Every structure is written in C-alpha cells, then in structure tokens.
Chains A and B, each alone.
Chain A
Amino acid sequence: MLHAILHELQTASGPMTLRQLSRRLGVQESALEGMIQFWVRKGRLAVDEGAGGVTEMRVCSGIVCGLRSCPGPGACPLTLKTPARFRLSVPGRH
C-alpha cells in the first residue's frame, strides 16, 4: 500500500485528489494521509506549500508593505488559501 502510492503517482496521467487515491487503494482517507506523511518524511514525496503565507499579504493604499508587517487596516482584494499538494520528489533533490 505504501509503495502503491508512489506507483500510482508515477503512472498517473493527471492530478489526483487524496480521496480518489484512497478509493483506488481501498484505504481510509486518514490512513492515506499517514502514509503520505511517511513518504514526506523519507523525502520521497514533496509537499508544495500553498499560498498560505500570501493570505497575510497586505496592500495599503496601493503600496505593498511586504508580508505580515503592514500597519494599515487594508488587505489586498482577493487572496487564496490553497490545499496541501504532494508530488514525487525529483531524485537527488531532497
């Protein structure tokens, strides 16, 4: 099962959700998360950090104050929180 995750990712033709993969492998979704965590620790899967940090981005009066340090009350229109994403690590990059 653990190795099947890597295999599925190697042979997949497009993106997959955790739920789809858990269905395919017949594993509970939360258990799949645990397995993915295992590979992340081993460096075989890489986590893409989402744009989470950017949600804190402030733009005051059109002037960018950088991350998390804007004194003004305004925030730039539309920020986006993205879910966690995993992909196979490029060999030798971890």
Chain B
Amino acid sequence: MKTKRCAYCEEHPAADLAPPSRVREDERTFIVALAGNPNTGKTTIFNSLTGSRQHTGNWPGKTVEKKEGVWKQGDDRFRIIDLPGAYSLSAFSAEEVIARDFIIEARPDVVIVVADATNLERNLYLVLQILEMTPSVVVALNMMDAARAQGLHIDIDRLSQRLGAPVVPLTARTGEGIGRLTETLVRAAHESRGRDPFRFTPPNRYSPPIEQAIARLEEAIGDHSALAQRYPPRWLALQLLQDADFCAEIASLPGDEELCRRAERERSRLQALYQTDIDALIAEDRYAWIHDVVGEVIRGQPQGPTLSDRVDAVAMHPISGLIIFFGLMWVVFKLSTDVAAPFVAWISLFINDYLAHWVLELLALAHLESTWFASLLTDGILAGVGGVLVFVPVLMFLYMGMAIMEDSGYMARAAFVMDRYMRYLGLEGKSFVPLVLGFGCNVPAIYATRTLENRTDRILTGLLVPFMSCSARLPVYVLIAGIFFPQFRTPAVLTMYILGIVVALTVGLLLRKTLFKRSETSALLIEVPAYRLPTVKNVWMEMTLRTRAFLESATTIIMTVSIVIWLFMAIPVSGEGAFADTPVDDSAFAHLAGAISPAFEPLGFGNWQNASALMSGFIAKEVVVSTLAQVYHAPLEQPSHEEDLGFWAEARLAVASFFQAALDTLKAIPGIIGIDLFDGEEAGAPPGLGAAIRQGFESASGGYGALAAFAFMVFVLLYTPCMATVAAMRHELGGKWTMLSVITQLTIAWIAAFIVFQGGRILFS
C-alpha cells in the first residue's frame, strides 16, 4: 500500500490531511494562485501586485521556476503564487502537473485564472477545468487592449453569469483594471472563508450518460470519508472516469480498491456506449459548452475574410498557386540574371582589368613577370577563382529572393500548394521541403530527408534531390546563356530549373510504379504562418550568411582545384614546351581530359576543354565555371586602356564604375516586368573568354554552338552531383542507392543532352 506523496506539505503542513475547513497559520493570510495559459500575462499581473516583495525558486522536484510574492491590503496578507502556464490540467507536462496539484492539494483561497481575451475559446478550457476544481475563482480577462484593437466586443456580465464566477476585464500591461481585480480578489478571499470548498456546482453539464456515471461515482466517493475529505467529490469522480491510472495513484486505504473497480465498470459502460475514449468524450462536451458560451458573449468578431485570407485564396489555390510559385521563381531568376548583370560586369572588369593589371605590375616590379609563378597567379588562381567570383552577385540575388520568400511567410504556402502535387506522385507532401532546399544546396537537402518517417519516402526523395538545380549550378547557366543566348538568359535559366523538376517528377513516378509501391497517407493539416513584411535585417543576414559560405568555398575548394588544374596544364606531355610555358593543347590536362571527351561528341560538346570542366565539376559544381575560365583562358593581354593611368587613377575608375553598375542594376529592375531600359547589352564573361568559349563549342559541334551549349547546360543540370552530395547520400541512403543514383544520373544526363543536341540538329537543319 503506497502513501500519497505530498508535493506541498512543506508549504502547508496541513494540506495533506486537512479537512475541508483549512488550517491556516493566521486567519488574515490568504493564499492566491495565478493560473492561466502560457503568455496570458500572469507574471505581468503578479509583478504589478507584488512589486518588489517577491522571491523566485523552483517547484519541488521540478526545474520549473516558482515565483511567490506578497500583497498587503489593510490587515490582510495575500501570498500570491505565480503558477506555470498551462493550456489544460491533463497532467501531461510538468507545468500542468504543478498547476493541477497546487490547486487541488494546496487549496488556495482564491485562484485567479488569467485568460487572453483575444483567444477566449482556447483559454476557457483551462478556466472551465479550474471551475470544476474549486469554487473560489476570479477570471482576469487580460489583453483587453488587443481585443479592442481587433474589434472584439465581449459581454463581460454575460460571461460572468455563464461561468458562475466574477470576470474582471484587464489590460495588465498598462495597469488598467488592476484596481477592480484587487477589489474582486479581496471580496472573493473573504467569501471563501465561510464556504465549504468541496460543495459547489460547476457551470457546465455533460451528456446524460456521463452525468449519471459521475453521480454514481460521487455517491461511492461519499462512502470513503478519507477521499471525500481530500478532494471535491465531483472533480474526483470526473477524474476517475477519464483517467484510468488516477485511481491507483491516489488509492491508499483498504476501501479504495472497491472504488477503483467501480470506476473501471463505469468506464467500460461508457466505452461500450460511445465506442471512443472517455476523456475524448469529456473534452468534446467541454468544448461544446465553451463554444456555446463564446458564441453568446463575443460580438463583432471579424467574420469576413481578411486581406491575408483573400491573398491566400489565390496564392494557395491548386492552379493559381502553382502559377504564382513559378512566377515568383521567374522574378528571382530575373533578379539573379539581368538585374545582377551590371554587378557581374563590374566584378569581371575589376578582376580582369584592374586587378590583373595590378598583379602584372607587381610581378614586374619583382622581376617575376614571365616565370611559372606569374603563370600560376594569372592563369591559375586569377582565372579560376576570379572566374567564379564574378558570379557572386548572381548568387546574392538568388539568396535574397529565397530569403524574402521565406521571411514573408510565402514559402510555407508554396509547400502547401506543392503538397497536393507531391501526393499525386505518391510522394509524401513533406518531400517538398528537401526538394526546395535542394535549390539552395543539395547537401542539406539530402540530410533533410531524415524528417520523412517512411524509409522508402526517404530513399525516393533522396534520389530525386540531386535533380534540383543547386545554386552552384546557376553560375554555369548564367555564363553559358550569357554567351550564347544573351537576350534569353532568364528563360534559359528558368528552363533548367523546370527541366530539373520535370525529370525529378518523371523519375519519381517511375520509381513509385516499380521499386517503391506504397499505400495512401491521410490528408494534412498545415499551420501556415501569418504574412509579414520581410525585414531588411533578416534578409540581409540570410543573404550574407549564404554568400559567405559560397565565398569560403571559392577560396578553398575552388582555389585548390584551380591550382591543381593549372599544374596539369603547365606540364607538357607533347610538343616542345617547357613547364609553365607550353601550349595548353600539349599539356597533361588536355591529354587527360581528351581521353574522355569522345563520350561527349554525340552531345555536341566533345572537346577536351568541356570534358575537363565536367570532370572537375564532380568536386563542386562551381568549379565547372572556374575550369572553363582557365582552359579557355586567353593569356592576359595588356590592360585595355591606352595609357597607364597609375594605381590611384585606376582605383578611382574602379569605384566610379561600381556606382555606374549600381545605377544600371536599378535600371534593370523594371526589366522584371518586361520593361527593358538597356539595348540588350551583353554582360558576364569577359569578351575574350566569351569568344573563346563560343569558338570552342562551335568547333566541337560542327557549327551548332548554341545547341551544344544548351545541351551542355542540360548535362550540368542532370549529371552526378558534387562530392559532398554523394558523401551525404552515402551517409543517408547507403552505398547501394548512392551507386545506383550516380550511374542513373550520368545516364539520364547523357540521354537528355543527346536528345537536345541531336533532336535540335534535326529540327534546325
């Protein structure tokens, strides 16, 4: 036989065994509990009552903070205890257990229940539960300022009548209504003294079968004086009915077992009648009662759809939502191609003109101008790393677009729209999250598949992620499209993204029909955040964080690969050249890449330069650009301006051209909606590089350069992801699936590029 633990004996030595008439250390000291849902203003009220007369500690055996303070009025002392916030008293969390036990065991003289007037329906659940536990309740209806601002009108008198307890409207933050609260508190405290705390009628009734069960149990409890003296009988009966474990928890006397059996019988009777759990029935009845009360006391609740509802009706519609999603993607790519172009041009000018010039001059000063070191600096690092850095503005605009979509609350809506389509494919709706993440970077996207419960969903989604065009692939598209389709950069880039999605969906559907058959899952309920204006701070933070990550990879991985490639390009294996002074066609690199280039001949880009870029792209997709920049790199000519202006003049020019670029960017913004303030001027690659790349594709494809370039873009989109992604896949999906994925992707990329090039050739000839 176990004895009941007494959580509050320390507090009230008498509480554990006290008969209904409580023993108090002194007749004029009252115990007051402040209860309420989280964040309703309990502590605000507590502070304004107790001022500095408070101390904090922990609840016995818990790490939940306990605040206690004293408020004095004449000869009366009120010990006020700030209970932790809880939505109900179902003993689910530590907070709920503390609140419930304190009210039931320590028997405060008054319980002030703080309710948020703007969320009355939810808050009344706890109010009702407390009204079922004790007769001395004061309801503090807080946040009245916010309720007024929302145009809510609450009939306080009617609410008070329905609850059978005083209700005090309050704005705790400004102190408005605190005076009335204290008056009501004092009155309630004095009234509580003359009253039997166990004999009261709560305001609500349950369905007749439940009420009958309660009545029978109440009667049985009356036969057990020990229990009847510890708990309000109706509350105890209700508790025994809805919680099968509660009886064992409180049972300590011989007669209690009979009571527990009684409760068990009542429970099974109700269960047989309703075919569902009793606690759900009880909660259902409570909610119904609350709904009725709320309907009666609240007026002026905004009924019509708000602006946000109207926006959602369009943005979350299965068809228009999809159009809006792709429309916004279009804007983002427009931003990162055309609007970013002046900055791209400026960085290109800065690196290839000014910086290169300065480096050459420094080298000349040190008499190193025609050594291998000069070649490493200019043909290796400057060409490679510089070739990628040029595209930093492209990525910044992409990251900015994504950050705005996320911060405004739109992305959650896009996920909602996509959920339906994912489901059509037999994919879990949540798979959309890793897939969208994949647009940023495939690596975290692969890890995000972890959040899918089902293993087949995880594998399937993981296999599809690499088809999502990650941001590292964007510079490749911008570079190639800028050279071959300067007028159609944005459509070309968007086509890549859509192609990636289409291929992913097709592959997904095929896999679903073959390897991964599955059963249905139920519909989803999604909590969508409110729309808000994205803050400059958040967007800036996201943007810089991601850009920094990119820069970091530029200075490490890309630098390393650039140096390695330079090294292979510097080693002569044929011809007459010497180290660091050999025509690239004779270099080790050309021979190495040349060995695999025949595989790309049917695709239109089968020369060693393109093959080498694709090869190094396996390390990281950014490297495709840096390698192209290196292998097509024309040796640095003398700077384009006629006479040498000197460092400071050049620096001034560089700064001036930066502001010109900023201005051009502003001018490019109207271009998003089709207004072109430029006359289609080309930007991106430095002219020499662009010409070299164009030349390379033209000759490799037999005159179909643009077609080959497009096929190249398709290949870059679809072929094996970078090393980090493959490592992540191996980690998450296992070696077998990773192998399969790598091989499948290579195959798909090759076939797709083949179709583009050969199909196009037939079409256009």
Complexed CA–CA distance, A63 and B279 (Å):
51
Interface bits A48-71 vs B (CB < 8 Å: 1, else 0): 111101100101111110010000
Answer whether residue B545 sits at the interface, using C-beta atoms and an 8 A cutoff. Answer: yes
The reply to whether B523 and A77 contact each other, CB–CB distance below 8 Å, is no
The reply to whether A72 and B552 contact each other, CB–CB distance below 8 Å, is yes
The reply to whether B553 and A61 contact each other, CB–CB distance below 8 Å, is yes
The residues in A between 75 and 91 inclusive whose CB is less than 8 angstroms from any CB of B are: 75-88, 90
The reply to whether A87 and B521 contact each other, CB–CB distance below 8 Å, is yes
Closest to B420 in A: A14
| Chain B positions within 8 Å of A38 at CB level | 88, 280, 283
| Chain A positions within 8 Å of B552 at CB level | 60-61, 72-74
The residues in A between 1 and 31 inclusive whose CB is less than 8 angstroms from any CB of B are: 1-3, 5, 9-10, 12-19, 21, 26-28, 30-31
The reply to whether B451 and A64 contact each other, CB–CB distance below 8 Å, is no
Closest to B555 in A: A61
Expressed in whole angstroms, the minimum distance between the Cβ of A29 and any Cβ of chain B is 8
Complexed CA–CA distance, A64 and B442 (Å):
11
Closest to B429 in A: A15
Expressed in whole angstroms, the minimum distance between the Cβ of B199 and any Cβ of chain A is 30
**Cβ-defined partner of B525 (8 Å) among A34, A54, A86:** A86
Expressed in whole angstroms, the minimum distance between the Cβ of B286 and any Cβ of chain A is 9
Answer whether residue B319 sits at the interface, using C-beta atoms and an 8 A cutoff. Answer: no
Closest to B619 in A: A62
Q: Which 5 interchain pairs have the tightest Cβ spacing?
A: A78-B440, A74-B549, A31-B121, A12-B523, A88-B522
Asked if A42 meets B277 with Cβ closer than 8 Å, knowing A74-B548, A74-B549, the reply is: yes
Answer whether residue B471 sits at the interface, using C-beta atoms and an 8 A cutoff. Answer: yes
**Cβ-defined partner of B441 (8 Å) among A21, A37, A78:** A78
Complexed CA–CA distance, A19 and B308 (Å):
11
The reply to whether B524 and A86 contact each other, CB–CB distance below 8 Å, is yes
**Cβ-defined partner of A77 (8 Å) among B294, B395, B416:** B395
The residues in B between 183 and 199 inclusive whose CB is less than 8 angstroms from any CB of A are: none
5 contacts between A and B (CB under 8 A): A15-B526, A17-B525, A54-B450, A77-B471, A87-B523
Answer whether residue B331 sits at the interface, using C-beta atoms and an 8 A cutoff. Answer: no
Expressed in whole angstroms, the minimum distance between the Cβ of A66 and any Cβ of chain B is 9
Complexed CA–CA distance, A64 and B446 (Å):
11
**Cβ-defined partner of A62 (8 Å) among B399, B433, B620:** B620
| Chain A positions within 8 Å of B406 at CB level | 80-81
**Cβ-defined partner of B121 (8 Å) among A28, A42, A85, A86:** A28
Complexed CA–CA distance, A51 and B255 (Å):
53
| Chain B positions within 8 Å of A53 at CB level | 450-451
Complexed CA–CA distance, A88 and B549 (Å):
39
Answer whether residue B330 sits at the interface, using C-beta atoms and an 8 A cutoff. Answer: no
Expressed in whole angstroms, the minimum distance between the Cβ of B389 and any Cβ of chain A is 15
The reply to whether A9 and B549 contact each other, CB–CB distance below 8 Å, is no
The reply to whether B277 and A16 contact each other, CB–CB distance below 8 Å, is no
| Chain A positions within 8 Å of B157 at CB level | none
The residue in A42, A63, A79, A88 that gathers the most chain B C-beta atoms within 10 A of its C-beta is A79
The residues in B between 116 and 130 inclusive whose CB is less than 8 angstroms from any CB of A are: 119-122, 125
Asked if A85 meets B724 with Cβ closer than 8 Å, knowing A59-B443, A60-B552, the reply is: no
| Chain B positions within 8 Å of A74 at CB level | 545, 548-549, 552-553
| Chain B positions within 8 Å of A15 at CB level | 416, 419-420, 429, 523-526
Q: Which residues of B contact A (CB under 8 A)?
A: 87-88, 90, 92, 119-122, 125, 276-277, 279-280, 283-284, 287-288, 290-291, 294, 309, 312, 316, 318, 395, 399, 402, 406, 411-412, 415-416, 419-420, 423, 429-430, 433-434, 436-437, 439-441, 443-444, 447-448, 450-451, 453, 470-471, 521-529, 545-546, 548-550, 552-553, 556-557, 620, 722-724, 727-728
The reply to whether A51 and B471 contact each other, CB–CB distance below 8 Å, is no
The reply to whether A21 and B525 contact each other, CB–CB distance below 8 Å, is yes
The reply to whether B433 and A14 contact each other, CB–CB distance below 8 Å, is no
| Chain A positions within 8 Å of B291 at CB level | 1, 26-27
- Chain A: interface residue total (CB-CB under 8 A): 61
The reply to whether B444 and A59 contact each other, CB–CB distance below 8 Å, is yes
The reply to whether B549 and A34 contact each other, CB–CB distance below 8 Å, is no
The reply to whether A33 and B522 contact each other, CB–CB distance below 8 Å, is no
The reply to whether A2 and B284 contact each other, CB–CB distance below 8 Å, is yes
**Cβ-defined partner of B399 (8 Å) among A13, A49, A63, A78:** A78
The reply to whether B280 and A59 contact each other, CB–CB distance below 8 Å, is no
Expressed in whole angstroms, the minimum distance between the Cβ of B274 and any Cβ of chain A is 10
The reply to whether B451 and A19 contact each other, CB–CB distance below 8 Å, is no
Asked if A34 meets B87 with Cβ closer than 8 Å, knowing A61-B556, A64-B727, the reply is: yes
| Chain A positions within 8 Å of B727 at CB level | 64
Expressed in whole angstroms, the minimum distance between the Cβ of B732 and any Cβ of chain A is 11
Complexed CA–CA distance, A54 and B276 (Å):
38
The reply to whether A64 and B724 contact each other, CB–CB distance below 8 Å, is yes
Expressed in whole angstroms, the minimum distance between the Cβ of A4 and any Cβ of chain B is 9
Expressed in whole angstroms, the minimum distance between the Cβ of A86 and any Cβ of chain B is 4
| Chain B positions within 8 Å of A19 at CB level | 309, 312, 528
Closest to A36 in B: B525
Complexed CA–CA distance, A81 and B284 (Å):
33
Complexed CA–CA distance, A74 and B548 (Å):
6
Expressed in whole angstroms, the minimum distance between the Cβ of B348 and any Cβ of chain A is 22
**Cβ-defined partner of A87 (8 Å) among B443, B524, B722:** B524
Asked if A76 meets B443 with Cβ closer than 8 Å, knowing A9-B525, A50-B433, the reply is: yes
The reply to whether A77 and B287 contact each other, CB–CB distance below 8 Å, is no
Expressed in whole angstroms, the minimum distance between the Cβ of B400 and any Cβ of chain A is 11
| Chain B positions within 8 Å of A30 at CB level | 119, 121-122
Expressed in whole angstroms, the minimum distance between the Cβ of A12 and any Cβ of chain B is 4
Complexed CA–CA distance, A14 and B528 (Å):
15
**Cβ-defined partner of A16 (8 Å) among B433, B436, B526, B556:** B526
Asked if A80 meets B433 with Cβ closer than 8 Å, knowing A15-B523, A54-B448, the reply is: yes
The residue in A2, A59, A75, A76 that gathers the most chain B C-beta atoms within 10 A of its C-beta is A76
The reply to whether B415 and A14 contact each other, CB–CB distance below 8 Å, is no
Expressed in whole angstroms, the minimum distance between the Cβ of A17 and any Cβ of chain B is 5
Complexed CA–CA distance, A10 and B524 (Å):
10
The reply to whether B557 and A34 contact each other, CB–CB distance below 8 Å, is no
Complexed CA–CA distance, A87 and B399 (Å):
32
The reply to whether A76 and B525 contact each other, CB–CB distance below 8 Å, is no
The reply to whether B526 and A76 contact each other, CB–CB distance below 8 Å, is no
The residue in A1, A31, A50, A86 that gathers the most chain B C-beta atoms within 10 A of its C-beta is A31
The reply to whether A51 and B526 contact each other, CB–CB distance below 8 Å, is no
Expressed in whole angstroms, the minimum distance between the Cβ of B267 and any Cβ of chain A is 16
The reply to whether A79 and B524 contact each other, CB–CB distance below 8 Å, is no
Closest to B313 in A: A20
Complexed CA–CA distance, A21 and B525 (Å):
8
Given contacts A3-B280, A64-B447, A77-B395, 12 further A-B contacts (CB under 8 A): A15-B525, A17-B527, A37-B87, A41-B92, A54-B448, A59-B724, A61-B556, A64-B727, A64-B728, A77-B399, A83-B529, A85-B527
Closest to B301 in A: A28
Asked if A33 meets B444 with Cβ closer than 8 Å, knowing A61-B557, A80-B436, the reply is: no
The reply to whether B122 and A34 contact each other, CB–CB distance below 8 Å, is yes
Complexed CA–CA distance, A37 and B289 (Å):
19
Complexed CA–CA distance, A38 and B90 (Å):
10
The reply to whether A82 and B620 contact each other, CB–CB distance below 8 Å, is no
Expressed in whole angstroms, the minimum distance between the Cβ of B572 and any Cβ of chain A is 31
| Chain A positions within 8 Å of B470 at CB level | 77
The reply to whether B723 and A62 contact each other, CB–CB distance below 8 Å, is yes
The reply to whether A51 and B448 contact each other, CB–CB distance below 8 Å, is yes
Closest to B438 in A: A78
